[in-house]
């Protein structure tokens, strides 16, 4: 009997430690290479980059021309390239040409973020664009946004299709 009582706490502690370890693994961010070259963003609702601005922000299916996004949710900043004129309507399909990851980026309002910098090329014109997707850091752990979070930010304006 004594052995069973001594053994039971050891088994319980080991089981709880296993649960804690599994839970930590579930919360860990996926590898940032989830957005790959060849991935496409298809514009489903045309939007305008206002004159005098070089970018607009997307968050929770809304468009924020001045970057007034909510601080605790994923968002994406869609920007035009140097050769592209502001004040134009954005439409069509964009293909990801490359992706960069920056764990020490600065987002809207000067917040610290992990940025997924997506370099885009317009399918018909060939013009270059950039979309930075990020999540303000609410803890000390850097975390890149997932493709699902990117889709949630731009939904209603763009559809994301990840290339295998």
Q: What is the pTM of this model?
A: 0.74
**39 has pLDDT over 80:** yes
Q: Using CA atoms, how far apart are residues 16 and 9, in angstroms rounded to an integer? A: 10
Over residues 17-36, the mean pLDDT reads: 51
Do 142 and 103 contact (CB within 8 A), yes or no? yes
Query: Looking at 23-27, 51-55, 141-145, which range is the least confident one?
Result: 23-27
Q: Using CA atoms, how far apart are residues 140 and 150, in angstroms rounded to an integer? A: 21
Q: Tens digits of per-residue pLDDT, 111-120?
A: 667 889 999 9
Query: Looking at 44-48, 69-73, 145-149, which range is the least confident one?
Result: 69-73
Query: What are the strands of the beta sheet with 158-161, ordered from one edge?
Result: 62-64, 55-59, 75-80, 128-136, 112-122, 93-106, 40-43, 158-161
């Amino acid at each position: 009997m004594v052995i069973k009582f001594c053994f039971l706490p050891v088994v319980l502690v080991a089981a709880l430690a296993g649960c804690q370890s599994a839970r930590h693994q579930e919360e860990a961010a996926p590898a940032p290479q989830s957005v790959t070259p060849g991935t496409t963003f298809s514009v489903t609702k045309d939007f305008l980059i206002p004159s005098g601005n070089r970018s607009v922000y997307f968050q929770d299916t809304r468009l924020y021309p001045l970057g007034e996004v909510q601080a605790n949710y994923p968002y994406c900043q869609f920007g035009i390239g140097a050769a592209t004129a502001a004040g134009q309507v954005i439409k069509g399909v964009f293909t990801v040409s490359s992706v960069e990851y920056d764990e020490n980026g600065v987002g809207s309002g000067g917040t610290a973020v992990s940025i997924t910098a997506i370099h885009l090329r317009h399918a018909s014109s060939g013009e270059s664009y950039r979309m930075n997707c990020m999540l303000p850091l609410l803890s000390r752990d850097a975390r890149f946004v997932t493709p699902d979070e990117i889709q949630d930010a731009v939904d209603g304006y763009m559809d994301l299709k990840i290339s295998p």
